């Protein structure tokens, strides 16, 4: 296993296990504590994994999928050879968050590996499959970086003045959102390591501020120049020529190129389209929903607790993480976690197999082997 992303000089994956330990446990970087505290959290049961996903101690499409894959390793142990119990635990994992397709993809893949195997071998098979899913996720994301960095170098070649390439990104589609490298950040990391001068505009990404708290922290660890901005600044920056390209991640993308991602992505795509700025979405193939219809309007959009909008978390003068009220509790709040950006606003998709148009034709030319999945 090759580790590429570092925290204070030490290489990490976002999710892992100590396979030589006598205890069955999954370890995660607790993303709710970042950037103020770097803590490793231990998950000892399927219930622990479900809570970690639902409460966003882990988040991001790939990371959720990998965590769920390791959760199925714990499920294999807890079910004690009972296939009905195994499927029940699998259903509970898949229902922990509704929008990210990597979650169900990873759980279903584990079920397929286990259901016809000897129950005595379930834990061994599930651990091997989880480690394979984690490695694939990291390798796919690294390939996304290799494919996507060429877009950034092409922009630099065509700039007549400042050679610094200005990228705007939304939410966190970095290595914290996958097992390593990330999707939207992978081209940034690859180009930066190859010496291209770049600068990243980081949307704060309300209400949970995954941009200012996670993406900015990641970029800082990697030494990438960046500036955190309020969510509504992006359109202005595009309008005055300070954004060369927008790259986001996605939690679920149809084969037609429609993109479900963090709430606010649609507005960034509209602004980019109006200003003639390329808008790319980076994703591994595990994030495609091969059977969703064109437009993606049936993709389930998670609605989270209104307190995430009403309150904000930060570090107190005493060095403690605290919540403070932003407004009165008597006010009504809505907290939609995702929106869908139609393919017509997406310049292209950056995948592990290459860059393609955000269209059924473009996607299926890259992934002809997935054609049998498109009928469900």
Task: Let me know the angle formed at the C-alpha of 330 by 328 and 334, rounded to the nearest 5 degrees.
Answer: 90
Cβ-contact 303, 337 below 8 angstroms: yes
Tokens of 366: 């890259």
Q: What is the pLDDT of residues 186-221, one digit of tens each?
A: 999 999 999 999 999 999 999 999 999 999 999 999
Nearest residue to 279 (alpha-carbon basis) of 267, 287, 290: 267
Question: Among 251, 258, 307, 325, which one carries the catalytic annotation?
Answer: 251
- pLDDT of 276 above 70: yes
- pLDDT of 236 above 90: yes
Q: What is the CATH number of domain 6-136?
A: 1.20.120.420
CB atoms within 10 A of CB 271: 22
Q: Where in the chain is the domain with CATH 1.20.120.420?
A: 6-136
Pairwise CA distance, residues 360 & 300, whole Å: 21
Q: What is the pLDDT of residues 121-152, one digit of tens each?
A: 999 999 999 999 999 999 999 999 999 999 99
- DSSP-derived letter for residue 51 is H
Tokens of 324: 């403070």
Determine phi and psi for 210, rounding to 5 degrees: -65, -25
Q: Three-state DSSP class for 125?
A: helix
**251 tagged catalytic:** yes
Query: What's the residue count for the chain?
Result: 376
Pairwise CA distance, residues 261 & 268, whole Å: 11
Query: N- to C-terminal Cα distance for the chain?
Result: 33
Pairwise CA distance, residues 285 & 272, whole Å: 25
Determine phi and psi for 218, rounding to 5 degrees: -60, -50
Query: Phi-psi region for residue 81, left (φ > 0), alpha (ψ -120 to 50) or beta?
Result: left
Q: Where in the chain is the domain with CATH 3.40.50.10470?
A: 149-373
Tokens of 336: 């939609």
- pLDDT of 3 above 60: no
Pairwise CA distance, residues 80 & 65, whole Å: 23
Q: What is the CATH number of domain 149-373?
A: 3.40.50.10470
Res 87: pLDDT = 95
Pairwise CA distance, residues 237 & 203, whole Å: 12
- pLDDT of 1 above 60: no
Q: What number is the average pLDDT over the span 288-315?
A: 94
- pLDDT of 2 above 60: no
Q: Is the dihedral of CA 271, 272, 274, 275 positive or negative?
A: positive
Element (H, E) at 27: strand 26-29
């Amino acid at each position: 296993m090759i580790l590429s992303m570092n925290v204070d000089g030490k290489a990490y994956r976002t999710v892992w296990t100590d396979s030589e330990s006598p205890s069955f446990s999954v370890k995660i970087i607790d993303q709710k504590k970042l950037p103020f505290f770097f803590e490793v959290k231990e998950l000892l049961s399927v219930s622990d994994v479900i809570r970690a996903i639902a409460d966003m101690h882990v988040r991001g499409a790939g990371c959720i999928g990998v965590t769920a894959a390791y959760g199925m390793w714990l499920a294999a142990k807890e079910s004690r050879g009972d296939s009905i119990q195994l499927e029940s635990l699998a259903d509970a994992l898949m229902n922990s968050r509704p929008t990210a397709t990597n979650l169900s993809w990873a759980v279903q893949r584990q079920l397929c590996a286990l259901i016809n195997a000897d129950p005595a071998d379930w834990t061994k098979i599930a651990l091997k499959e989880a480690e394979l899913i984690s490695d694939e996720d990291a390798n796919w994301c690294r390939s996304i970086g290799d494919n996507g960095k060429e877009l950034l170098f092409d922009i630099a070649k065509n700039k007549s003045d400042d050679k610094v390439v200005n990228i705007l990104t939304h939410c966190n589609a970095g290595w914290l959102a996958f097992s390593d490298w990330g999707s939207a950040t992978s081209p940034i990391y690859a180009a930066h390591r190859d010496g291209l001068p770049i600068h990243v505009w980081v949307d704060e990404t309300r209400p949970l501020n995954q941009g200012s708290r996670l993406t900015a922290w990641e970029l800082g660890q990697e030494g990438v120049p960046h500036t955190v901005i309020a969510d509504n600044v992006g359109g202005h920056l595009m309008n005055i020529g300070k954004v060369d390209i927008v790259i986001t991640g996605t939690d679920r993308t149809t084969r037609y190129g429609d993109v479900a991602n963090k709430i606010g992505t649609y507005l960034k795509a509209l602004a980019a389209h109006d200003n003639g700025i390329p808008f790319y979405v980076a994703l591994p193939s595990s994030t495609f929903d091969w059977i969703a219809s064109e437009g993606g309007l049936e993709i389930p959009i998670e609605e989270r607790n209104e307190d995430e909008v009403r309150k904000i978390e930060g570090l107190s003068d005493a060095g403690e993480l605290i919540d403070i009220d932003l407004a009165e509790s008597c006010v009504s709040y809505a907290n939609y976690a995702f929106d869908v950006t139609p393919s017509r606003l997406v310049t292209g998709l950056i995948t592990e197999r290459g860059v393609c148009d955000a269209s059924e034709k473009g996607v299926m030319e890259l992934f002809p082997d997935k054609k049998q999945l498109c009928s469900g």
